[in-house]
Structure 1
Amino acid sequence: MNIGSVRVRDVPESDIERALALSHLVFHESPDDERRKQQQQELSGHLRIGAYDGEELVGFAAAHPFVVSVPGGADLPCPGLSYVSVAPTHRRRGVLSAMMSELFARWTEQGAPLAALWASEAAIYGRFGFGPGTYGATVEIDSRRALALRVPPDERALHLLDARSVPTALAPYFESTRGLRAGRHARTEAWWREQWMARTDEEDEDLSPPRVVTLGDPLAGYAIYRTKAGDWSGGTAGLVSVEELEADGPEQAATLWRYLADIDLTGTVRAHGRPLDDPLSLFAADPDQVSVKNVEPALWVCLVDVRAALAARVWAAPVDVAIEVLDARITANAGTFRLIASPDGFSYAPTGDAPDLTVQARDLATAYMAAKPVADLVRAGLVTEHTRGAASMLDAALRTELLPHTGDSY
């Protein structure tokens, strides 16, 4: 694909260092040698698309070969878009649009029903059909006093785990629970070791290496966290930063939160990206002790193949609606289709019937993941309901027991 003098094509192995240099320029990063080496290794096995102006690399995008859970627990191939960079000399010239068109063509050829990304600027990716597929909340516990609970904590033993044994010890448990929520990536041993158990935190260098606490044997839950010393001369208590907490149920979760709140010489527990239906704020005896600081989109999702994606998820109730899908990027998705689905069957085919609902591709992705009800999107003016009750019928079919959630970023 060409845009004037710019040609979009594969980025060879020999240009990975140039691609990283462009990414670091665009994102204002100066990673150390260890991090650069890790990034080079990551990109060596990825799909890499570049925009070249002559021999100059002026645009770059890569896709991680992920697998992600969808509503009902099934796993689908889901390329994870990353390192998206356009040189400041070539902005607003259609370079990003050309690279995205090439990526969509590649993903369609590969048969990937979904694609996903973490958006550095949320305003950019909606026009390419990406919508928020999961949301995350930042939650804080005032741990200057003991965390009071309304549920009895699980009193089984807690153990601190050596970081080197994490992939072996935690991976089976995480994998067994991953399908309970949509939006969760399958993790390789390398992902556990190089992403979750990295020795430094790029956003806060004062945080400790990751610590891991586990509950019970057999495992009934775990937490991965970091700590940061306070400034006692200035009256500032230390911080516990929670990166992940998984548990069998509320009693097990209560034990882990109590442990984190009881760590000596700290006064705040802060957890980023928690699921919006996390029960912590409900089973805390004092609601003022636990506060939600902000809620924001986490994983953005695009339905590369709407029919394949819809066919792979579970339907909670019967639905029969005609949906007009507006998709300017992937023309095969656009049109009016009759969706007939139930817990026992699925059909999605073009129809000449008048639509009951009109929805843009980005909003269909959000509804598909059950991140937001269709009725909410109708009230926001983002989905048009032509037939009264159609949104409620579709919501009943899309409903999931737990909200989607993504802890992994890339």
Structure 2
Amino acid sequence: MSLPLPLVEVSGTPGECGVAYGAAARSSIAANTANYLERFAATGLDRPAVRRAGSRFRAASRQHAPRVADMLDGVAEGAGVPVDEIYALNARTELLYGSSSSSSSECTSIGVLDSRSASGHTLLAQNWDWHPAQRPYTLLLATRDEQGSTVLTLTEAGMLAKAGFNDAGLGVCVNMLTSDRDGRPGGVPYHVLLRMVLEQRVLGSALRVACSTPRSASINLLLGQAFSAGVPGEAIDLEVSPVDVGLLHPVDGVITHANHFEALSTARDTLRDFGGSSLFRSARARRLLGSGPLAEKDLQAVLADHGGHPQSICRHDVDALSEEDRSESLYAVIIDLDERRMSIAAGPPCHADTYREVRLTGLFA
């Protein structure tokens, strides 16, 4: 199996999975933590402040997501990194953007119902746009817990989730959002919530977790599940702020989303204070998807689109106003929920000669 980034496979209880993950990616986790400590310091958060924040997020995670907390505690143990720093790492969105004073944005996501896909499968896809310095610390994490549930996710070393799916055919893609309600205390970190969603077996349970778990940051979750026994699949988009949830359903079999609110009106979208490419990327992706059957090559073409270059769906690192504002499409991901398969290309995706695939059936041999 040739992949454009490392694959870590771990099995056992959540704690055992965490320890094994921490040990397997020990050097990357330590380097990624040090990298984020520097980024936190640039925003005015010194190491003691980061650890205090991490302790608060650990308490919230322990209260609302004990299995995820067991895994994160294990990651810290296996990697030899202070546990509060691991929780701060998983709360990097809250710590970097909790003041809602940044215009930074990331990611364009796509959901396709089986009724629109050429294969008859339910598909999710996205570009993950983030600071280019994070590319060396990105990996694929595959976990199989003591109950046999399997999750595969793209993530950053030391974190537990980003875009991914599980063996029940449930998957998620993710976009950052910012609102004037961000920064409320007591919520679980953005990336802990993602992990909680990926550990659910049915779409309704994933929605319940996403809606009912306290949050400190806004987040967009594009969820889908491939249903079986002749029942069609489903997809739904959740715009989640710390105080409310907005919903988007497929139109003509597709959903797209970028980094601004399209449905939720009870929180002020702070991206509107800055503008940016998000305001056209989602609508452009919808137009590019057209009206006919969609094959994976069609999704690849949308993810590689240069409309508005360099701040396009396929984002390029050439026009940042500062070091902190640099952003690039680091990886492009397409998930076939029926086949339990992720296809991934190193970004920017316009440069990708091929997508490499990993299937759940090929893991844990």
TM-score (norm 1): 0.25
Q: Rg bigger for which structure?
A: 1
With normalisation by structure 2, the TM-score equals: 0.27
Which is richer in strand? 1
